[in-house]
Structure 1
Amino acid sequence: MTATATHVRPRRPQRRSAGTVAVGVVGELLITAGVLLGLFVVWQLWWTDVVAMREHQQVLASLDWEAPPVPAPAEEAPAPVERRDPPPVDPQPAFGEVFAQLYVPRFGSDYVVPVAGGVDRRQILDRLGVGHYPGTAMPGDLGNFAVAGHRTSFGRPFHQIADLVEGDPVVVRTATTWYVYRVTSHEIVMPWQVEVVSPIPGLKPGDPVPPLTQRLMTMTACHPMFSARQRYVVHAELDFWMPVSDGVPAVLTDAGVDVVGAEGNG
Protein backbone atom coordinates (compact mmCIF):
# COMPACT_ATOMS: atom_id res chain seq x y z
CA MET A 1 0.00 0.00 0.00
CA THR A 2 1.46 3.31 -1.02
CA ALA A 3 1.19 6.53 0.97
CA THR A 4 -0.42 9.43 -0.73
CA ALA A 5 1.69 12.61 -0.62
CA THR A 6 -0.08 15.52 1.00
CA HIS A 7 0.46 18.85 -0.68
CA VAL A 8 0.80 21.66 1.90
CA ARG A 9 -0.08 25.05 0.56
CA PRO A 10 2.21 27.88 1.84
CA ARG A 11 0.52 30.33 4.16
CA ARG A 12 0.14 33.77 2.80
CA PRO A 13 1.63 36.51 4.98
CA GLN A 14 -1.01 38.43 6.85
CA ARG A 15 -1.59 41.85 5.50
CA ARG A 16 -1.13 44.57 8.10
CA SER A 17 -4.15 46.68 8.69
CA ALA A 18 -4.10 50.36 7.92
CA GLY A 19 -4.30 51.08 11.64
CA THR A 20 -1.22 48.97 12.39
CA VAL A 21 0.74 50.70 9.62
CA ALA A 22 -0.31 54.10 10.92
CA VAL A 23 0.76 53.23 14.48
CA GLY A 24 4.15 52.06 13.20
CA VAL A 25 4.69 55.24 11.20
CA VAL A 26 3.70 57.41 14.16
CA GLY A 27 6.04 55.45 16.41
CA GLU A 28 8.97 55.93 14.04
CA LEU A 29 8.20 59.64 13.75
CA LEU A 30 8.11 59.94 17.55
CA ILE A 31 11.47 58.18 17.85
CA THR A 32 12.95 60.49 15.20
CA ALA A 33 11.48 63.53 16.94
CA GLY A 34 12.91 62.34 20.26
CA VAL A 35 16.38 61.96 18.75
CA LEU A 36 16.17 65.41 17.15
CA LEU A 37 14.92 66.91 20.42
CA GLY A 38 17.78 65.28 22.29
CA LEU A 39 20.29 66.68 19.80
CA PHE A 40 18.71 70.13 20.13
CA VAL A 41 18.99 69.97 23.91
CA VAL A 42 22.66 68.98 23.65
CA TRP A 43 23.26 71.86 21.22
CA GLN A 44 21.33 74.38 23.32
CA LEU A 45 22.67 73.45 26.76
CA TRP A 46 26.20 72.30 25.97
CA TRP A 47 27.53 73.14 22.53
CA THR A 48 26.40 76.80 22.61
CA ASP A 49 28.30 77.14 25.90
CA VAL A 50 31.44 75.64 24.36
CA VAL A 51 31.32 77.98 21.35
CA ALA A 52 30.43 81.11 23.34
CA MET A 53 33.02 80.54 26.06
CA ARG A 54 35.69 80.01 23.41
CA GLU A 55 34.69 83.30 21.78
CA HIS A 56 34.71 85.08 25.16
CA GLN A 57 38.27 83.88 25.73
CA GLN A 58 39.35 85.05 22.28
CA VAL A 59 37.78 88.47 22.83
CA LEU A 60 39.48 88.89 26.22
CA ALA A 61 42.82 87.77 24.82
CA SER A 62 42.55 90.28 21.96
CA LEU A 63 42.14 93.31 24.24
CA ASP A 64 45.31 95.37 24.04
CA TRP A 65 45.12 96.56 27.64
CA GLU A 66 47.91 97.23 30.11
CA ALA A 67 48.21 94.42 32.65
CA PRO A 68 47.90 95.54 36.28
CA PRO A 69 51.02 95.30 38.43
CA VAL A 70 51.56 91.90 40.02
CA PRO A 71 50.37 92.17 43.65
CA ALA A 72 53.28 92.29 46.10
CA PRO A 73 53.23 90.40 49.41
CA ALA A 74 51.26 92.29 52.07
CA GLU A 75 54.33 92.76 54.26
CA GLU A 76 56.26 94.39 51.41
CA ALA A 77 53.76 96.89 50.06
CA PRO A 78 50.56 98.55 51.26
CA ALA A 79 47.25 97.67 49.65
CA PRO A 80 46.20 99.91 46.74
CA VAL A 81 44.20 102.96 47.78
CA GLU A 82 40.44 102.58 47.37
CA ARG A 83 39.27 105.89 45.99
CA ARG A 84 35.80 107.33 46.58
CA ASP A 85 36.09 110.66 44.81
CA PRO A 86 34.36 111.06 41.40
CA PRO A 87 35.92 108.45 39.08
CA PRO A 88 36.88 108.82 35.41
CA VAL A 89 34.10 107.84 33.01
CA ASP A 90 34.57 106.53 29.47
CA PRO A 91 32.31 107.60 26.55
CA GLN A 92 29.44 105.43 25.41
CA PRO A 93 30.66 102.47 23.33
CA ALA A 94 29.71 101.72 19.76
CA PHE A 95 27.39 98.79 19.13
CA GLY A 96 29.35 95.58 19.64
CA GLU A 97 32.43 97.35 21.02
CA VAL A 98 33.97 95.48 23.96
CA PHE A 99 34.78 98.18 26.50
CA ALA A 100 34.95 96.35 29.83
CA GLN A 101 35.54 93.10 31.67
CA LEU A 102 33.29 91.81 34.45
CA TYR A 103 34.59 89.93 37.50
CA VAL A 104 32.25 88.47 40.13
CA PRO A 105 34.06 86.59 42.93
CA ARG A 106 30.80 84.89 43.94
CA PHE A 107 30.76 83.24 40.50
CA GLY A 108 34.22 81.69 40.91
CA SER A 109 37.88 82.68 40.97
CA ASP A 110 38.18 82.07 37.21
CA TYR A 111 35.09 84.08 36.25
CA VAL A 112 35.69 86.93 33.81
CA VAL A 113 33.55 87.89 30.80
CA PRO A 114 33.59 90.70 28.21
CA VAL A 115 31.10 93.56 28.31
CA ALA A 116 30.04 95.00 24.95
CA GLY A 117 27.80 97.82 23.78
CA GLY A 118 24.21 96.77 23.03
CA VAL A 119 21.84 94.04 24.20
CA ASP A 120 20.87 92.47 20.87
CA ARG A 121 20.52 88.76 21.53
CA ARG A 122 22.08 87.28 18.39
CA GLN A 123 24.94 89.73 17.92
CA ILE A 124 25.83 90.55 21.53
CA LEU A 125 24.40 88.24 24.20
CA ASP A 126 24.80 85.00 22.20
CA ARG A 127 28.37 85.85 21.15
CA LEU A 128 30.14 88.43 23.25
CA GLY A 129 28.94 87.75 26.80
CA VAL A 130 27.37 90.64 28.72
CA GLY A 131 25.63 93.53 26.96
CA HIS A 132 25.32 97.16 28.05
CA TYR A 133 21.90 98.80 27.69
CA PRO A 134 22.48 101.71 25.29
CA GLY A 135 21.96 105.11 26.86
CA THR A 136 22.36 103.93 30.44
CA ALA A 137 25.29 105.18 32.51
CA MET A 138 28.84 104.03 31.91
CA PRO A 139 30.86 102.38 34.71
CA GLY A 140 31.46 104.81 37.55
CA ASP A 141 29.11 107.48 36.23
CA LEU A 142 26.15 108.99 38.06
CA GLY A 143 22.98 107.08 37.18
CA ASN A 144 22.53 103.41 36.40
CA PHE A 145 25.10 101.29 34.55
CA ALA A 146 22.75 98.53 33.30
CA VAL A 147 23.79 95.23 31.70
CA ALA A 148 22.16 92.00 30.56
CA GLY A 149 23.34 88.40 30.18
CA HIS A 150 22.10 84.85 29.68
CA ARG A 151 21.41 82.52 32.62
CA THR A 152 21.42 79.39 30.45
CA SER A 153 23.19 78.56 27.17
CA PHE A 154 25.59 80.72 25.12
CA GLY A 155 28.20 80.90 27.87
CA ARG A 156 25.55 81.69 30.54
CA PRO A 157 27.48 84.58 32.14
CA PHE A 158 24.65 85.26 34.63
CA HIS A 159 23.91 81.62 35.43
CA GLN A 160 24.48 82.26 39.16
CA ILE A 161 22.88 85.69 39.37
CA ALA A 162 20.36 84.48 41.95
CA ASP A 163 23.26 83.44 44.24
CA LEU A 164 24.41 87.02 44.75
CA VAL A 165 23.76 88.41 48.22
CA GLU A 166 23.81 91.90 49.68
CA GLY A 167 27.34 93.20 49.99
CA ASP A 168 28.86 90.95 47.31
CA PRO A 169 31.42 92.77 45.13
CA VAL A 170 30.80 93.09 41.40
CA VAL A 171 33.93 94.41 39.69
CA VAL A 172 34.08 96.14 36.32
CA ARG A 173 37.40 96.82 34.65
CA THR A 174 37.91 99.17 31.70
CA ALA A 175 41.24 99.72 29.97
CA THR A 176 42.43 102.06 32.73
CA THR A 177 40.12 101.78 35.73
CA TRP A 178 38.64 99.34 38.25
CA TYR A 179 35.09 100.02 39.48
CA VAL A 180 33.96 97.98 42.50
CA TYR A 181 30.22 97.83 43.11
CA ARG A 182 28.42 96.19 46.03
CA VAL A 183 25.12 94.33 45.68
CA THR A 184 22.28 96.16 47.41
CA SER A 185 19.09 94.32 46.39
CA HIS A 186 17.40 92.01 43.93
CA GLU A 187 13.93 91.66 42.45
CA ILE A 188 11.92 89.70 39.89
CA VAL A 189 9.97 91.72 37.34
CA MET A 190 8.09 91.29 34.09
CA PRO A 191 9.88 91.98 30.77
CA TRP A 192 8.00 95.22 30.20
CA GLN A 193 9.07 96.71 33.53
CA VAL A 194 11.96 98.60 31.96
CA GLU A 195 12.09 101.04 34.86
CA VAL A 196 14.64 98.72 36.50
CA VAL A 197 17.28 100.15 34.15
CA SER A 198 16.20 103.79 34.54
CA PRO A 199 18.81 106.28 35.83
CA ILE A 200 17.08 105.81 39.18
CA PRO A 201 15.60 102.26 39.25
CA GLY A 202 11.83 102.49 39.51
CA LEU A 203 11.59 105.73 37.57
CA LYS A 204 8.99 105.19 34.83
CA PRO A 205 9.76 106.17 31.21
CA GLY A 206 8.70 109.78 30.67
CA ASP A 207 8.96 110.74 34.34
CA PRO A 208 11.18 113.74 35.04
CA VAL A 209 14.68 112.71 36.13
CA PRO A 210 15.79 114.46 39.32
CA PRO A 211 19.45 115.36 39.91
CA LEU A 212 21.44 112.14 40.07
CA THR A 213 23.43 111.47 43.23
CA GLN A 214 24.17 107.72 43.11
CA ARG A 215 26.50 105.63 40.95
CA LEU A 216 24.48 102.45 40.42
CA MET A 217 24.72 99.19 38.51
CA THR A 218 21.91 96.83 37.45
CA MET A 219 22.29 93.26 36.18
CA THR A 220 19.35 91.61 34.37
CA ALA A 221 18.75 88.04 33.19
CA CYS A 222 15.82 85.87 32.16
CA HIS A 223 13.81 84.14 34.90
CA PRO A 224 13.02 81.42 35.76
CA MET A 225 15.71 79.13 34.39
CA PHE A 226 15.05 78.06 30.76
CA SER A 227 12.31 80.67 30.41
CA ALA A 228 12.00 84.29 29.32
CA ARG A 229 8.74 84.84 31.19
CA GLN A 230 10.26 87.21 33.75
CA ARG A 231 13.51 89.01 34.55
CA TYR A 232 15.81 88.48 37.52
CA VAL A 233 17.33 91.81 38.52
CA VAL A 234 20.24 92.63 40.82
CA HIS A 235 21.02 96.19 41.87
CA ALA A 236 24.39 97.40 43.15
CA GLU A 237 26.06 100.69 44.10
CA LEU A 238 29.63 101.86 43.52
CA ASP A 239 31.80 101.32 46.58
CA PHE A 240 35.15 102.56 45.28
CA TRP A 241 37.36 102.82 42.21
CA MET A 242 41.10 102.71 41.51
CA PRO A 243 43.41 103.03 38.52
CA VAL A 244 44.58 99.76 36.99
CA SER A 245 48.12 101.10 37.24
CA ASP A 246 47.80 101.03 41.05
CA GLY A 247 47.27 97.27 41.17
CA VAL A 248 44.36 94.90 41.68
CA PRO A 249 41.45 95.48 44.09
CA ALA A 250 41.74 93.43 47.27
CA VAL A 251 38.24 92.04 46.72
CA LEU A 252 39.71 90.11 43.77
CA THR A 253 43.08 89.09 45.22
CA ASP A 254 41.46 88.00 48.50
CA ALA A 255 39.08 85.79 46.50
CA GLY A 256 41.99 84.17 44.65
CA VAL A 257 41.14 85.73 41.28
CA ASP A 258 44.18 85.54 39.01
CA VAL A 259 43.55 88.76 37.11
CA VAL A 260 46.89 88.87 35.31
CA GLY A 261 46.62 85.20 34.35
CA ALA A 262 43.02 85.63 33.25
CA GLU A 263 43.97 88.45 30.93
CA GLY A 264 47.05 86.76 29.59
CA ASN A 265 45.17 83.56 28.84
CA GLY A 266 41.89 85.15 27.89
Structure 2
Amino acid sequence: MNLLNDALNGLGDAFANLNDLPRIGLALALVAVAALISYWQRAGVEKDLASATARSFVQLVAIGYVLELIFNQENPLWTVLMLLVMIVVGARTSGRRGKATPHATRVSFLSITLGSALTLAVLVIGGVFSFTPQAIIPIGGMIIGNAMTTAAQVMNRMSDDLLDQRPQIESMLALGATSRQAAQIQFRRALRSAMIPHIDTTKTVGLIKLPGAMTGMILAGASPLEAVQLQIIVMYMLVGAVTFTGLISAYLTYREFFTPAYQLKSLTSPVET
Protein backbone atom coordinates (compact mmCIF):
# COMPACT_ATOMS: atom_id res chain seq x y z
CA MET A 1 0.00 0.00 0.00
CA ASN A 2 2.85 2.39 0.79
CA LEU A 3 4.38 1.72 -2.61
CA LEU A 4 1.06 2.46 -4.31
CA ASN A 5 0.65 5.70 -2.39
CA ASP A 6 4.19 6.73 -3.27
CA ALA A 7 3.54 5.97 -6.93
CA LEU A 8 0.37 8.08 -6.92
CA ASN A 9 2.19 10.92 -5.21
CA GLY A 10 4.92 10.68 -7.84
CA LEU A 11 2.35 10.94 -10.62
CA GLY A 12 0.89 14.02 -8.96
CA ASP A 13 4.29 15.64 -8.76
CA ALA A 14 4.94 14.83 -12.40
CA PHE A 15 1.73 16.53 -13.54
CA ALA A 16 2.52 19.47 -11.29
CA ASN A 17 5.79 19.96 -13.20
CA LEU A 18 4.32 20.18 -16.69
CA ASN A 19 6.07 23.53 -17.07
CA ASP A 20 9.20 21.53 -17.92
CA LEU A 21 7.61 20.08 -21.07
CA PRO A 22 8.40 23.11 -23.30
CA ARG A 23 12.07 22.84 -22.33
CA ILE A 24 12.08 19.13 -23.18
CA GLY A 25 10.37 19.93 -26.47
CA LEU A 26 13.04 22.47 -27.39
CA ALA A 27 15.76 19.93 -26.63
CA LEU A 28 13.87 17.36 -28.71
CA ALA A 29 13.94 19.80 -31.63
CA LEU A 30 17.71 19.29 -31.80
CA VAL A 31 17.12 15.56 -32.26
CA ALA A 32 14.67 16.34 -35.08
CA VAL A 33 17.31 18.51 -36.75
CA ALA A 34 19.80 15.66 -36.47
CA ALA A 35 17.29 13.29 -38.11
CA LEU A 36 16.68 15.75 -40.94
CA ILE A 37 20.40 16.10 -41.55
CA SER A 38 20.74 12.30 -41.61
CA TYR A 39 17.90 12.06 -44.15
CA TRP A 40 19.36 14.88 -46.24
CA GLN A 41 22.83 13.34 -46.32
CA ARG A 42 21.43 9.78 -46.62
CA ALA A 43 23.32 8.64 -43.51
CA GLY A 44 20.52 6.18 -42.77
CA VAL A 45 20.37 6.65 -39.01
CA GLU A 46 16.95 8.25 -38.75
CA LYS A 47 15.20 5.09 -37.54
CA ASP A 48 17.95 4.33 -35.04
CA LEU A 49 17.83 7.93 -33.83
CA ALA A 50 14.06 7.82 -33.39
CA SER A 51 14.25 4.47 -31.60
CA ALA A 52 17.04 5.65 -29.31
CA THR A 53 15.16 8.85 -28.48
CA ALA A 54 11.92 7.03 -27.66
CA ARG A 55 13.67 4.33 -25.64
CA SER A 56 15.72 6.82 -23.65
CA PHE A 57 12.59 8.85 -22.83
CA VAL A 58 10.63 5.81 -21.64
CA GLN A 59 13.57 4.35 -19.73
CA LEU A 60 14.43 7.59 -17.98
CA VAL A 61 10.83 8.32 -17.01
CA ALA A 62 10.45 4.75 -15.74
CA ILE A 63 13.67 4.87 -13.72
CA GLY A 64 12.57 8.23 -12.33
CA TYR A 65 9.43 6.66 -10.84
CA VAL A 66 11.40 3.65 -9.59
CA LEU A 67 13.92 5.90 -7.85
CA GLU A 68 11.12 7.95 -6.30
CA LEU A 69 9.73 4.75 -4.79
CA ILE A 70 13.08 3.50 -3.55
CA PHE A 71 14.11 6.85 -2.09
CA ASN A 72 10.97 6.82 0.05
CA GLN A 73 11.71 3.38 1.52
CA GLU A 74 13.69 2.85 4.69
CA ASN A 75 14.72 -0.73 3.93
CA PRO A 76 18.26 -0.83 2.44
CA LEU A 77 17.39 -4.05 0.61
CA TRP A 78 15.65 -1.94 -2.04
CA THR A 79 18.94 -0.16 -2.70
CA VAL A 80 20.81 -3.46 -2.95
CA LEU A 81 18.13 -4.85 -5.29
CA MET A 82 18.43 -1.81 -7.56
CA LEU A 83 22.21 -2.20 -7.73
CA LEU A 84 21.82 -5.89 -8.51
CA VAL A 85 19.46 -5.11 -11.39
CA MET A 86 22.02 -2.65 -12.76
CA ILE A 87 24.76 -5.27 -12.51
CA VAL A 88 22.69 -7.94 -14.28
CA VAL A 89 21.83 -5.59 -17.14
CA GLY A 90 25.45 -4.45 -17.36
CA ALA A 91 26.73 -8.04 -17.34
CA ARG A 92 24.38 -9.07 -20.14
CA THR A 93 25.35 -6.04 -22.22
CA SER A 94 29.06 -6.58 -21.62
CA GLY A 95 28.72 -10.32 -22.20
CA ARG A 96 27.23 -9.75 -25.64
CA ARG A 97 30.30 -7.68 -26.46
CA GLY A 98 32.61 -10.41 -25.23
CA LYS A 99 33.08 -11.82 -28.72
CA ALA A 100 34.92 -15.14 -28.50
CA THR A 101 35.32 -15.28 -24.72
CA PRO A 102 33.77 -18.45 -23.29
CA HIS A 103 31.10 -17.78 -20.66
CA ALA A 104 31.43 -14.05 -21.31
CA THR A 105 28.29 -13.11 -19.37
CA ARG A 106 29.47 -15.00 -16.29
CA VAL A 107 32.89 -13.35 -16.51
CA SER A 108 31.23 -9.96 -16.86
CA PHE A 109 28.86 -10.55 -13.95
CA LEU A 110 31.61 -11.60 -11.56
CA SER A 111 33.96 -8.83 -12.68
CA ILE A 112 31.37 -6.07 -12.45
CA THR A 113 29.99 -7.34 -9.14
CA LEU A 114 33.35 -7.70 -7.41
CA GLY A 115 34.84 -4.52 -8.88
CA SER A 116 31.78 -2.43 -7.99
CA ALA A 117 31.41 -3.96 -4.53
CA LEU A 118 35.06 -3.28 -3.68
CA THR A 119 34.81 0.32 -4.82
CA LEU A 120 31.55 1.00 -2.98
CA ALA A 121 32.87 -0.71 0.15
CA VAL A 122 35.90 1.59 0.23
CA LEU A 123 33.72 4.67 -0.24
CA VAL A 124 31.12 3.69 2.38
CA ILE A 125 33.54 2.34 4.99
CA GLY A 126 35.77 5.37 4.52
CA GLY A 127 32.82 7.69 5.10
CA VAL A 128 32.98 9.32 1.67
CA PHE A 129 29.32 8.48 1.06
CA SER A 130 26.63 7.27 3.43
CA PHE A 131 24.69 4.14 2.55
CA THR A 132 21.49 5.88 1.49
CA PRO A 133 19.67 5.29 -1.79
CA GLN A 134 20.06 8.97 -2.73
CA ALA A 135 23.86 8.56 -2.60
CA ILE A 136 24.54 4.92 -3.38
CA ILE A 137 22.28 4.40 -6.40
CA PRO A 138 23.63 7.32 -8.51
CA ILE A 139 27.22 6.62 -7.48
CA GLY A 140 26.71 2.88 -7.99
CA GLY A 141 25.28 3.53 -11.44
CA MET A 142 28.40 5.44 -12.47
CA ILE A 143 30.65 2.71 -11.10
CA ILE A 144 28.71 -0.14 -12.69
CA GLY A 145 28.50 1.64 -16.04
CA ASN A 146 32.26 2.11 -16.21
CA ALA A 147 32.87 -1.42 -14.91
CA MET A 148 30.65 -2.77 -17.69
CA THR A 149 32.70 -0.99 -20.36
CA THR A 150 35.95 -2.13 -18.78
CA ALA A 151 34.92 -5.79 -18.68
CA ALA A 152 33.94 -5.71 -22.35
CA GLN A 153 37.22 -4.03 -23.35
CA VAL A 154 39.30 -6.56 -21.46
CA MET A 155 37.49 -9.57 -22.92
CA ASN A 156 37.66 -8.19 -26.46
CA ARG A 157 41.34 -7.30 -26.31
CA MET A 158 42.40 -10.57 -24.71
CA SER A 159 40.40 -12.76 -27.08
CA ASP A 160 41.82 -10.89 -30.07
CA ASP A 161 45.39 -11.17 -28.80
CA LEU A 162 45.11 -14.84 -27.90
CA LEU A 163 43.70 -15.59 -31.34
CA ASP A 164 46.37 -13.60 -33.17
CA GLN A 165 49.27 -14.92 -31.10
CA ARG A 166 48.25 -18.53 -30.68
CA PRO A 167 51.50 -19.98 -32.18
CA GLN A 168 53.71 -18.04 -29.76
CA ILE A 169 51.55 -18.99 -26.78
CA GLU A 170 51.52 -22.67 -27.69
CA SER A 171 55.29 -22.58 -28.15
CA MET A 172 55.70 -21.22 -24.63
CA LEU A 173 53.36 -23.88 -23.27
CA ALA A 174 55.36 -26.57 -25.07
CA LEU A 175 58.51 -25.30 -23.38
CA GLY A 176 56.95 -25.76 -19.96
CA ALA A 177 55.36 -22.38 -19.25
CA THR A 178 52.17 -22.23 -17.23
CA SER A 179 49.05 -20.74 -18.77
CA ARG A 180 49.56 -17.53 -16.75
CA GLN A 181 53.14 -17.21 -17.91
CA ALA A 182 52.20 -17.88 -21.53
CA ALA A 183 49.40 -15.30 -21.45
CA GLN A 184 51.21 -12.69 -19.36
CA ILE A 185 51.74 -10.28 -22.26
CA GLN A 186 48.11 -10.54 -23.36
CA PHE A 187 46.99 -10.12 -19.75
CA ARG A 188 48.93 -6.87 -19.37
CA ARG A 189 47.82 -5.50 -22.73
CA ALA A 190 44.15 -6.17 -21.97
CA LEU A 191 44.40 -4.48 -18.58
CA ARG A 192 46.30 -1.53 -20.00
CA SER A 193 43.85 -1.04 -22.90
CA ALA A 194 40.96 -0.83 -20.44
CA MET A 195 42.69 1.60 -18.07
CA ILE A 196 44.32 4.03 -20.52
CA PRO A 197 41.08 5.81 -21.65
CA HIS A 198 40.12 6.52 -18.04
CA ILE A 199 43.63 7.68 -17.17
CA ASP A 200 43.64 10.03 -20.18
CA THR A 201 40.22 11.37 -19.18
CA THR A 202 41.50 12.01 -15.66
CA LYS A 203 44.52 13.85 -17.06
CA THR A 204 42.45 16.22 -19.19
CA VAL A 205 39.40 16.75 -16.96
CA GLY A 206 38.65 20.45 -16.59
CA LEU A 207 40.80 21.35 -19.59
CA ILE A 208 38.79 19.82 -22.44
CA LYS A 209 35.36 19.29 -20.88
CA LEU A 210 33.45 19.71 -17.64
CA PRO A 211 32.27 16.23 -16.57
CA GLY A 212 28.67 15.32 -15.84
CA ALA A 213 28.72 15.38 -12.04
CA MET A 214 30.34 18.80 -11.94
CA THR A 215 28.08 20.20 -14.65
CA GLY A 216 24.96 18.85 -12.93
CA MET A 217 25.86 20.45 -9.61
CA ILE A 218 26.60 23.81 -11.23
CA LEU A 219 23.28 23.73 -13.11
CA ALA A 220 21.56 22.87 -9.82
CA GLY A 221 22.98 26.03 -8.25
CA ALA A 222 26.00 24.69 -6.36
CA SER A 223 29.19 26.75 -6.27
CA PRO A 224 31.94 25.72 -8.72
CA LEU A 225 34.27 24.79 -5.86
CA GLU A 226 31.68 22.46 -4.35
CA ALA A 227 31.12 20.91 -7.76
CA VAL A 228 34.86 20.46 -8.22
CA GLN A 229 35.19 18.62 -4.92
CA LEU A 230 32.52 16.11 -5.90
CA GLN A 231 33.99 15.68 -9.36
CA ILE A 232 37.42 14.92 -7.93
CA ILE A 233 35.91 12.20 -5.78
CA VAL A 234 34.01 10.78 -8.76
CA MET A 235 37.05 10.75 -11.05
CA TYR A 236 39.29 9.00 -8.54
CA MET A 237 36.47 6.64 -7.64
CA LEU A 238 36.07 5.58 -11.28
CA VAL A 239 39.80 5.02 -11.70
CA GLY A 240 39.66 2.62 -8.77
CA ALA A 241 36.56 0.88 -10.11
CA VAL A 242 38.12 0.44 -13.55
CA THR A 243 41.31 -0.94 -12.03
CA PHE A 244 39.51 -3.43 -9.79
CA THR A 245 37.18 -4.58 -12.57
CA GLY A 246 39.92 -4.70 -15.20
CA LEU A 247 42.18 -6.84 -13.02
CA ILE A 248 39.38 -9.25 -12.09
CA SER A 249 38.03 -9.55 -15.63
CA ALA A 250 41.53 -10.09 -17.07
CA TYR A 251 42.17 -12.87 -14.55
CA LEU A 252 38.82 -14.56 -15.19
CA THR A 253 39.06 -14.14 -18.97
CA TYR A 254 42.47 -15.70 -19.45
CA ARG A 255 41.43 -18.69 -17.33
CA GLU A 256 38.50 -19.33 -19.68
CA PHE A 257 40.91 -19.88 -22.57
CA PHE A 258 43.09 -22.55 -20.95
CA THR A 259 42.42 -26.06 -19.73
CA PRO A 260 43.60 -27.28 -16.30
CA ALA A 261 46.39 -29.09 -18.18
CA TYR A 262 47.78 -25.75 -19.46
CA GLN A 263 46.44 -26.20 -22.97
CA LEU A 264 45.04 -23.36 -25.02
CA LYS A 265 41.44 -24.09 -26.00
CA SER A 266 40.26 -23.95 -29.59
CA LEU A 267 39.56 -20.36 -30.58
CA THR A 268 37.36 -18.95 -33.28
CA SER A 269 37.48 -15.53 -34.82
CA PRO A 270 34.98 -13.25 -33.07
CA VAL A 271 32.01 -12.14 -35.13
CA GLU A 272 31.48 -8.38 -35.15
CA THR A 273 28.03 -7.25 -34.08
TM-score of the alignment, normalized to the shorter chain, above 0.5: no
TM-score by length of 1: 0.20
Structure that is richer in helix per residue: 2
Structure that is richer in strand per residue: 1
The structure with the largest alpha-carbon Rg is: 1
